Amino acid sequence: EKYRRKTGAQLPENVPVMGAMIERMDTGIGRLLSTLSDLGLESSTVVVFISDNGNVLADQSQAPFRGGKATLWEGGIRVPLVVRWPGRVAPGTRCDVPVITQDLFSTVMDIAGASSDRRPIDGTSLLPWLTGRVVALADNTTRHDYGPVIVLAHATDAGDPFWTLYGHLSRASAE
């Protein structure tokens, strides 16, 4: 009810239920971080928050992005990623290099000092970006097949543009 009464609650980007959910997450995350601090574990604990995909378009606008949940446009694949690691990741650190959830596995392996000699690992460790040891990406082209849809995502150096090619095999078309 609190968010339904707010000015602008009727706008597509201001769904009251989402406001309440965000407040509840904020409260829960605050409790988690306070507990880590109280136990003296905050400097040795990496906390990662990430969403799995965009929002349901019927529930809330993804503006300024096109698409939403279950689409391959920016509104469906661009999600927040927040990392907190006091003493290692400076507050306000920002990485503009496109990443994918598979990068988290490589990052955690790197943080733990572990390696996978038996199998290649999908993803790139984000540790250099998180700790300020930024390195340029080599050609980082990723191809994903979703049945009749092909997604080709590409990124080069951090300053270069990111682009995505969507192709639908049954229509021989691409966007």
| Contacts with 6 (C-beta within 8 Å, 6 or more apart), sequence order | 14, 16, 19
Which residue, chain included where needed, has tokens 């095999």? 169
Q: What is the dihedral of CA 128, 125, 156, 122, to 10 degrees?
A: 170
Residues constituting the chain: 175
E strand or H helix at 151:
strand 149-155
Compute φ and ψ for 145, nearest 5 degrees: -105, 125
User: What is the tens place of the pLDDT at every residue in 39-87?
Assistant: 999 888 999 988 877 777 777 777 788 888 877 777 877 777 889 999 8
**Those residues with Cβ within 8 angstroms of residue 116's Cβ, 6 or more apart along the chain or in another chain:** 109
Q: Which two tokens stand for residue 136?
A: 């340029």
Question: Hey, CA dihedral for 26, 27, 28, 34, is it positive or negative?
Answer: positive
Cβ 131 vs Cβ 88: under 8 Å: yes
Q: How far apart are alpha carbons 123 and 104 in whole angstroms?
A: 7
For residue 23, give the nearest of 44, 7, 1 by alpha carbon. 1
- Residue 31 has a pLDDT of 94
The confidence score (pLDDT) of residue 135 equals 62
Torsion-angle region of 113 (φ positive above 0: left; ψ -120 to 50: alpha; else: beta): left
pLDDT string in tens for the chain (175-residue length): 888 888 887 776 677 877 888 889 899 999 999 999 999 998 889 999 888 777 777 777 777 888 888 777 778 777 778 899 998 888 888 877 777 788 888 889 899 988 777 777 777 888 888 888 876 655 454 544 444 444 444 444 444 444 444 454 455 554 5
CB atoms within 10 A of CB 73: 16
